[in-house]
Amino acid sequence: MLTQKTVIIALGGSIICPQPGRVDELRSSSRFANACVINVSFLKRFKGLILKYLGKGFRFIIIAGGGKVCRVYQRAAAKVVELPDEDMDWLGIHATRLNAHLLRTIFRKEAYPVILDDPHKPIKNNWKVLIAAGWRPGWSTDYISVLLAKRFKTSEIIDAGNIPFVYNKDLQKYKNAYPIKKISWKNYRKLIGSRWIPGLAAPIDPIAAKLAQKLNLRALIVKGTEINNFDKILAGKKFKGTIIEP
């Protein structure tokens, strides 16, 4: 299924840190100790997968999302003061950078030594793993992944979040939501609307989807923690997930 050896992965922040804590008063040291739970088991398996395919001549661009860490900070700020969308976005951007630095540390021997916090930043060409993060307000890390696909002339991106498919409606709100295995960008954009909202929970946000459609990219939507399924994508085999295509 995968058609090139430069692989772009938008890695959801909510699978890096699935339990970031609560927006509440700090009442005990034990709550503080459990405020952020990093999915170390996943990160170990994910690193193993990436190393396996580096050995096969692949290169990877991994864009870290902000996920639940981002939303915790956004909710905390909203409890204190009314913030404009721009400031809410900046909280999210810095959450992505924190997650990106975690990934760069994990891939310290293999990764380019500087986080790509601007998709247009010059880099030297002797890299195998690039770790990227958020850039500017109004654009998500999904959008960054699409910009990087354009820059590095790749035809598809892998969106590895915490849901295994695109669904016909919000899975958290509707019990009768069903998965979609293949969909066009035109129909996908009808599902998610056209407005960017900070912290929007959609596999690929409206702004990124619009550009991806313009560039004729394919997007593979998968649950990032399912490493065996991830392996199938990289091996060019049939996988479980949604394909969004021109």
pTM for this entry = 0.89
Residue with tokens 């170390």: 40
Distance, CA of 128 to chain centre: 19
Quickly count: other Cβ atoms within 10 Å of residue 7's Cβ. 19
What homologous superfamily does CATH list for 6-245?
Acetylglutamate kinase-like (3.40.1160.10)
Distance, CA of 199 to chain centre: 12
Instruction: Give 138-181 as a 3 state SS string.
Output: CCCHHHHHHHHHHHCCCCEEEEEECCCCEECCCCCCCCCCCEEC
pLDDT digits (tens, 9 = 90+) for 30-87: 444 445 678 899 999 999 999 999 999 999 999 999 877 877 888 888 889 988 888 8
| Closest-CA residue to 115 (of 92, 143, 135, 87) | 135
Task: End-to-end CA distance of the chain: give it in Å, rounded.
Answer: 16
Domain boundary assignment for the chain: 6-245
CA–CA separation, 158 vs 231, rounded Å? 12
pLDDT digits (tens, 9 = 90+) for 185-243: 999 999 888 776 655 567 898 999 999 999 999 999 999 999 999 999 999 999 999 99
| Closest-CA residue to 24 (of 12, 32, 15) | 32
Residue 9 pLDDT exceeds 50: yes
Quickly count: other Cβ atoms within 10 Å of residue 176's Cβ. 6
pLDDT digits (tens, 9 = 90+) for 145-201: 999 999 999 999 999 998 899 998 877 778 888 999 999 999 999 988 877 665 556
